Structure 1
């Protein structure tokens, strides 16, 4: 039997509002006249939607533009101050928190360095609590102005109906950590403020696809290199993107032991933590007491100065990265692969030609000839930006509303009839 279309008038209105909002956000300012062809909506629908969004304070006028022989047309744009988002990057060396308005203008930032206690859950939750309070206070912003808090974390994120987002971070010692519940208990923000918790590689991928080097691509893989390695796959089938454990592709049978416990993972060769360990084992001398970022910079500098140990190590690393990317090319056949993360951007700046060469050598010829491998375009803060995009995307999906409005239509009679027949 053919299923009935269950879209309601409310669904249609929400979809129309979302279409207008997204077109103005990415391509605005635009006039009402331009919004019709851009969204596929009739002029009447555009007028109704725009009137609603202006009344809600989601849109604002942005000047006029001359028209051909008629009155000047009023330009419209999304109002930057109609909502705010916080993005959190729970990285491998620090927790970074940034506050943005709806135009993604940074209004405040702070970070906490992870010390000897490492990834102790209570420490990370405490850092997020303090940092969120700090950026809100610095901007003199009430918490109820937030559209939500987006958080990128290492590991696999599952969503439990009762506990919210649960993080399985094997490499950092998190075993089914109910992070959302812990944050709600500690942060004491209004219950109406949603948390959006996802893998950090996916938030990086979201940022690059919306605003960075992935924009316009139909399919892409964004690979995050930090202390560890992760990836986000964006394809027509994966929609907005799906995090995959790209750092745990096997690139060496019976190879180095990875932090996850398995031998031969890409992360055990190309993650910053493992790369620095390999440098020490080869006779290199990272600066005493330096953090990972400073130590990696020293390794790159030593190679640039002609140090043979550092140069050989980086040449080997380029081959491991290329081999790992070749697996992703063969599996997903993307248009683009983007290398990001603080370590990926630093390594890629020096090794990109060699990485491309090795990826082509290890991959099947047909997909390898059709993929471009480049650096991400948003810099080392892209995970935080991507995390902030998560509540923004939800805001758009709801048509510019913070919560789903209650149905305006009366319930069909058969709903009540079924309820009366239900067992008590």
Structure 2
């Protein structure tokens, strides 16, 4: 019984640390009095906990603010240089690795193209290995400050099968890129040179992107949001009551592989009529080529930019193609509105950010036309705010979220 009581006290202290650290992370700098008012903790608890966080170098003083007739109050904020995080985006055309400080300010980055070799697993692992080594070397930060490595991947991240062994780690099912239960976590642990206690966190790229937009971008302040990622492929992060929804096996959010047209265009996943086969960048360029557009040997980003330029210059084929794409996208968003009743839909991804400002009025009209009036009237469709690098930021939030939940305590 005595041991159970000690455990309860330890849990309470960690919970208090987590509450204060998290509040300062998202809302600081704040005074101790403001922290007590915001968290509901007593002034004595706030003083004790913040003293511990300062002693652990997780907080620092950030100036003073005048009080009503008393001494100026000291402001506290999270210390950006107390730790580092790595975010990895296994994208459609490249692997991007970034090193961040604790406030997710970029310290270094490295990029490696994925060309004819596609998403060969060994190549992707080598790129991540080389990228992590490169950004750590470029920043010169001590290895003991690395909190974790977050990796966003184009597929479903799942727990290994029961007979896979204790060290198997998370596996990735990426049907569109030919990955079937790839033991990516184990492969990264074997290949990437980081201290053994540094954790790896894997997540679907659309979901990591969604978490970044919820924490720092267009989703902030809302509780029920769908964050759509439109690049070569299409995905979504579904947030309900402030929490990303993963479904029974973390596979929810494969919006791009919902059926838009029965018997329609063949998607790269193998199924006919998927939304991705009409609005994903790879499919968009294929449709532009079929319409007689000149895509030559341009990469996808250059090709989509050229298509948009052609439409803005008045090319009737390009205008018609983008008008059709806006309607397809609006119809897909209407499905999200009817199914999840979000208050906000956020469009991002490199293709979404490139085409969105041009297509957004038509997308909104189409969504209103295809969705039920009541939920559609309460949902807004907005552009993402974090730019095309949001997946790496979101990947870095995976170890950061664990760190905040622990109150900054070691693993």
Q: Above 0.5 in TM-score?
A: yes
**Does the 8 Å CA contact 2:133/2:193 hold for their aligned counterparts?**
no
- Hey, what does 1:151 align to over in structure 2? 151
Alignment of 1:246-285 (within 5 A): 246-285=255-294
CA distance in 2, matches of 1:17, 1:284: 58
Give the secondary structure class of the aligned counterpart of 1:244. coil
- Hey, what does 1:391 align to over in structure 2? 399
Alignment of 1:18-417 (within 5 A): 18-160=18-160, 162-236=167-241, 239-242=243-246, 243-286=252-295, 288-403=296-411
CA distance in 2, matches of 1:159, 1:196: 12
CA distance in 2, matches of 1:70, 1:6: 38
CA distance in 1, matches of 2:152, 2:301: 19
**Does the 8 Å CA contact 1:83/1:146 hold for their aligned counterparts?**
yes
**Does the 8 Å CA contact 2:237/2:244 hold for their aligned counterparts?**
no
- Hey, what does 1:412 align to over in structure 2? none
**Does the 8 Å CA contact 1:319/1:354 hold for their aligned counterparts?**
yes
CA distance in 2, matches of 1:199, 1:308: 37
**Does the 8 Å CA contact 1:335/1:372 hold for their aligned counterparts?**
yes
TM-score normalised to structure 1 length: 0.92
- Return the index of the structure with the highest Cα Rg: 1
TM-score normalised to structure 2 length: 0.95
CA deviation digits over 1:23-79, x for unaligned, max 9? 111111111111101111011110111111111111111111221111111111111
**Does the 8 Å CA contact 1:214/1:338 hold for their aligned counterparts?**
yes
CA distance in 1, matches of 2:293, 2:84: 46
- Hey, what does 2:249 align to over in structure 1? none
Unaligned segments of structure 1, at least 5 residues: 404-424
Please report how far the alpha carbon of residue 97 of structure 1 lies from its aligned counterpart in structure 2 after TM superposition. 0.8
CA distance in 2, matches of 1:114, 1:281: 25
* Change in CA separation of 1:188 and 1:358 when aligned onto 2, cut-off 3 Å: same
Give the secondary structure class of the aligned counterpart of 2:96. strand
Aligned residues: 398
Task: Please give the root-mean-square deviation of Cα atoms over the aligned residues, in Å.
Answer: 1.5
CA distance in 2, matches of 1:175, 1:294: 30
**Does the 8 Å CA contact 2:171/2:182 hold for their aligned counterparts?**
yes
* Change in CA separation of 1:359 and 1:39 when aligned onto 2, cut-off 3 Å: same
CA distance in 2, matches of 1:278, 1:28: 49
